[in-house]
Structure 1
Amino acid sequence: MAGRSWSESRAKKRIETRLKEVPFNDLEIRDYVRDTNLADIPRTVAYRVDGVHLYADILNLRDMLEVTNVEGETCHRRTLRFLNLHYRAVHRILQRVDALFVDFHNQRLHTVVTKPYDSATNRTHRAVAIAQLIIDVLAETGEDADHPAAKVRVGIDSGEALAVSNGRRGHREPLFLGEPANHAAKRAAGGKAAGIYLTNGARLEIGLTEAANPDTTPLTTSEIQTSQEKAKLGVSADDIVKEWKDDLDKNPIGSFDFSGHTPPFSTLDIETLSVKNSRRQDAATVYADIDGFTSYVGANIQSDDGAKHVLRALHVLRSELDAVLNIDFAGRKVRFIGDCIHGLLVEGTAQTTDAQETISNMVLCAGGMRSSFKLAKNMLNEDGTDADELGVAIGFDYGPMTVTRLGIRGQLVRCSVSRGVLAAEGEQHRCKGNESAIGAKAYGEASEAVQTVFGSTRKRADLDYQTALDELTAKNDRAAKVSKALATAGALKPVTAAAAAPTFPARPVAPTRLDGFS
């Protein structure tokens, strides 16, 4: 049995290192100007960007995952192909309309419109026209009953946000922090009806009246047509669909080939994954979101000093959440999504997951995240950056998980999608900044000790590492007893596989395509 543990002294050393990477006096806040390259922003730099944020949610993703009663390879293959078809179409749209690609996270696209630079009104009209183009194209990019057209809901807001670097080591993309990104995302996630939904601020930008409830007030056909006429995108849905079909003929996606990864996930190199080299196995997945961060950005973005504190807080807090997952508990970050981290954790073998050990270690990991988050806030405060108002909301679940990369070669995006992934995100959303929640599937598979910790509500406030460790150990949880024994013996470093032992990261798979699309 693997031993995973959290140590305050180890966490403190990491946080001290992160603080040294972003000394306040070395940070720089710049204004975004014409054609600024946001592809590789230095860690110590943030840009103020006045733009229009567009989030597009694919509403029928869950339908794809639930096409079969059992969550087996069939529904995962169909879902990943479904996403890949639409990712490739949307990439083509964004290239043609000169919009900034920010992120694809499973069913959710985030893009930013910064042109024309001198008119927020015209930018908003352009964003509406782009949104309708996405809707029209994805209505035509289904293949068959197994891979239908996507049903899309778009949220849009306009305003100033901070652009910073997201990720590291070959997986870097711009991240936008602030109210317009957050509000656009909320409008996209605000209901099950398709259409284009603007915040009242964005509605006023293009001369529309405020809506009593923006989440139930989609733009009308005539309002969309007005924006299309003003934007003059110069490309039609027919153009995009034809190019998309031509590319599929020349560079077919192929069949998804799955293998299991030999635990732990910390040894998985996601940047080597592709359609022909994907992973699938029972595992735990977690979402840990910095609660209150949008308000924190809004309160600090207008001054350079305030924006510098935002940059420091984000870097230190997110990095430490990642370190707890990856270093202390041998899990793997899939990606940062704004101020949230999405990750995976597994114990057992490539063929057989130890469900109870995986879930118990996930509980301890969530406790370690909360303990590290509190420690990092205190150390930020001591170093001059007030982060007292921030919290962390943690949700996780268990079940068959996938991890791969989709899209266009050279611009592949990480993807881990399953019923459990959607459930974990839902668990995170029902938490406040001091709460952790376990999904129904994980709760049912967990040890009696884990079930006792979370109770019938499957949610627990202030569950830090020591509390989780003590309560699980008191109920004779196997994984917790191993972790406690490590601490008692003074072995504070996480146990890893012996260096001399052979490792088998995956069962045999077909070779990866080296040309064209993945």
Structure 2
Amino acid sequence: MAWDYETSKKRIQQHLDSMGDIEVKKLVREAKLDDLLTETCCREIYGSHVYLHVSNFAKLASEEIDDSDRYKGFIRAVHIYQREVGRIIQDEAIFNAVRVHFQGPKAHALIYRPIDNAEKISAHAILLELVVKDFVSSVFNPAFPDYDNFRIAGGADIGNAIGTRNGEAKDRELLFLGAPANHAAKIINSHGQLRLTKRVYDELPDDIQGICDEVTDKDDIYQVQHISQAKLDALTKSHGIGWDREASKKRVEADKESFPLTVVEYSSANQLIDVDDLSIRKNKRVMAASVYGDVTGFTAYIDAATTDEAKKERLREFHVIRKEMAAVVRRDFNGIRIQFQGDRVQGIIHLPKDDETGVATEATDTAAGLQASMERSLKDCLPNVKKKLNLAAGVDQGTTLITKLGTRGHRDRICLGEPVDSAASMEEKCEGKETGVSKRVYDALPDRLKKQFSYDSDRRYYVAADLTSEDPDGETTKQAAAVQSPAPYILRHDGRSA
């Protein structure tokens, strides 16, 4: 399997030719977004985007197994966590918000009710962070005492973002494009803090502003103070949030009874995993490479669109880029497209089974194929993006849990593991046209690929940049520019990386 320019360009053009007229309107009344939004029916939505991240999940997913029941218990805990956090977000009596999806250990929620009421929306965003933190410490951790205490970190931003929904069959998902949807995730840190932007802070009522402090070393970022349960209960009551930790405990206990350890199973995989066939009863634990490809500059690009026609054109370009990135992972290479996270694609490579070199090579070629599509076929078909957008990629591999958990009708494809988080982190530190890989991936690569990478001592991984050509044998004709830094690597690509 390999990336091919003519094949890529043909499918891009077919998508452009078949796409209907795009409608972008401001959302002026409450709606069920899963039903309203499509590839062509899009809405500009004023709201707060909130991300809630459990840092311990990745380590537990990748740890060596001494006791299979302990690992089953961890899967069960993640399942119940997603179920209850989903209820907290969506329940009309609690936050009545939109559970966008779970990105592995990270929940994404949108609060847009009451329509255009900045003060109430901002207040609910901060209270959501506090309530989920309280849930984890007072309900979830006591319910699963065999594990180290789980900790929550959060981020919130507010403003306009364009909502859309696309994909195929069971592979459809809500997507939000714009600064608040992007920035809320980026301000999360790993120290268990609940953070918010100045835009959120400025809209807050006095009682919630009073529990927020400016982060001294970060411009325009605030963090929420630790408050007592009594203080939280008073705030939720005064703001009409029906948080009841005793009721939450009962729901979690009921879930534990409904999903005993005996129903939880996990195994490796000899064939390409069908993620939509997975559930709490069928999980996969495999040696896999995580591949992230992010369109650099896209948030600013779409925010700069001020007219309806410009917004429609940006969305048209986004849909084409999104579908092509999915095709590269699934059709050009032997990968699984897990999900889109805004303008970032997440892919998994787990075959050949337990073959470090085979998986590393396929994953690195996949990253190169993503770069090739962006730099060659997409830019040839979408001339407006030629000088404005590029792609950054990150790759790491190791033990990964692949599953589909949560409540019926709202189960998300998720991957958990340290290499998943590491690949995402490397991608975030890469510039456009760069690909970063971990030492484990680099060490497993054949020499013909290794020579494309240089170690970056500042970023601490290997990096390749501007790999832009291939010959008939698949050998790249350029080597990566030297990058003087500590331990990541970056790959140059345009065509196959090797």
Asked if Structure 1 and Structure 2 have the same fold, meaning a TM-score greater than 0.5 normalized by the shorter chain, the answer is yes
**1:320 equivalent in structure 2:** 324
Residue 348 of structure 2 corresponds to residue 344 of structure 1:
yes
Residue in structure 2 matched with residue 203 of structure 1 by the alignment = 201
Paired AA for residue 118 in structure 2 = A
The letter of the residue matching 1:424 is A
**Residue of structure 1 in register with 2:240 after alignment:** 232
Deviations 1:177-205 (A, max 9, x none): 11111121122x2x222242110111011
Q: Aligned match of 1:34 in 26, 29, 34? A: 29
Given the alignment, which residue of 219, 223, 245 partners 1:217? 223
User: Does residue 125 of structure 1 match 2:109?
Assistant: no
Secondary structure at 1:221's aligned position in 2? coil
Structure 1 residue 101: Cα displacement: 0.8
CA offset at residue 460 of structure 1?
0.7
Structure 2 distance, partners of 1:353, 1:368, is 23
Comparing 459-468 with 353-362, greater Cα deviation is found at 459-468
Match for residue 99 of structure 2?
Answer: 101
**Structure 1 residues 456 and 123 mapped into 2: Cα distance closer, same or farther (>3 Å)?**
closer
Report the Cα distance in structure 1 between the residues aligned to 2:58 and 2:417, rounded to whole angstroms.
Answer: 9
8 A contact 1:347–1:358 mirrored in 2? yes
1:145-160 to 2 correspondence within 5 Å? 145-160=145-160
Distance 1:16 1:221 in 2: 55
Following the alignment from structure 2 to structure 1, what is the Cα–Cα distance between the partners of residues 239 and 468? 51
Partners in 2 of 1:463 and 1:473 — Cα distance?
A: 6
Query: Equivalent residue for 1:287?
Result: 292
Shift of 1:375: 2.7
Give, as a single letter, the amino acid of the residue that structure 1 aligns with 2:84: A
- Structure richer in strand, relative to its length: 2
Q: Which has the higher contact order (CA 8 A, sep 6+)?
A: 1
1:496 maps to none
Conserved 8 A contact 1:347-1:355? no
Q: List per-residue Cα deviations over 1:190-239 (Å, max 9, x = no partner).
A: x2222421101110111549835355633463996785354221232222
Change (3 A) 1:38 1:363: same
Correspondence for 2:484: none
How much does 1:307 deviate? 1.3
CA contact (8 A) 2:469 2:477 kept: no
> 1:80-91 maps to which residues of 2 (within 5 A)?
80-91=75-86
Residue in structure 2 matching 1:20, options 17, 21, 31? 17
Q: Deviations over 1:89-146 (max 9, x none)?
A: 1012123221101010111111011111241111111222222111111212133443
Q: Which runs of 5+ in 1 are unaligned?
A: 475-482, 488-518
* Contact 2:236-2:243 at 8 Å conserved across structures: no
Q: Could you say if the C-alpha distance between residues 182 and 275 of structure 1 is closer, same or farther in structure 2, counting changes exceeding 3 Å?
A: same
TM-score (norm 2): 0.84
Q: 1:13 to 1:232 in 2, by over 3 A?
A: same
Structure 2 Cα separation of the partners of residues 154 and 98 of structure 1? 19
1:490 maps to which residue?
none
Counterpart of 2:459? none
Match of 2:403 in 1: 404
Q: CA separation in 2, counterparts of 1:113 and 1:61?
A: 25
Aligned Cα root-mean-square deviation (Å): 2.9
Q: Which SS does the other structure have where 2:449 is aligned?
A: helix
Name the counterpart of 1:502.
none
SS at match of 2:241: coil
For 1:396 and 1:72, the matched residues in 2 are separated by 29
Give percent identity, aligned residues only: 26
**Match for residue 174 of structure 2?**
174
2: CA distance between counterparts of 1:75 and 1:148? 12
Counterpart code for 2:409:
G
- The gaps in structure 2 that reach 5 residues or longer are 457-461, 480-494
Q: What letter is aligned with 1:122?
A: K
Counterpart Cα distance in 1 of 2:417 and 2:299: 28
2:84 aligned counterpart, secondary structure: helix
Report the CA distance between 1:408 and its aligned residue.
1.6
Q: Aligned ranges for residues 460-479 of structure 1 at < 5 Å?
A: 460-464=464-468, 466=470, 469-471=474-476
Q: Quick check: 106-115 or 463-472, which moved more? A: 463-472
Q: What is the rounded CA distance, in whole Å, between the counterparts of 1:174 and 1:35 in structure 2?
A: 16
8 Å contact from structure 1 (residues 368, 464) kept in 2: no
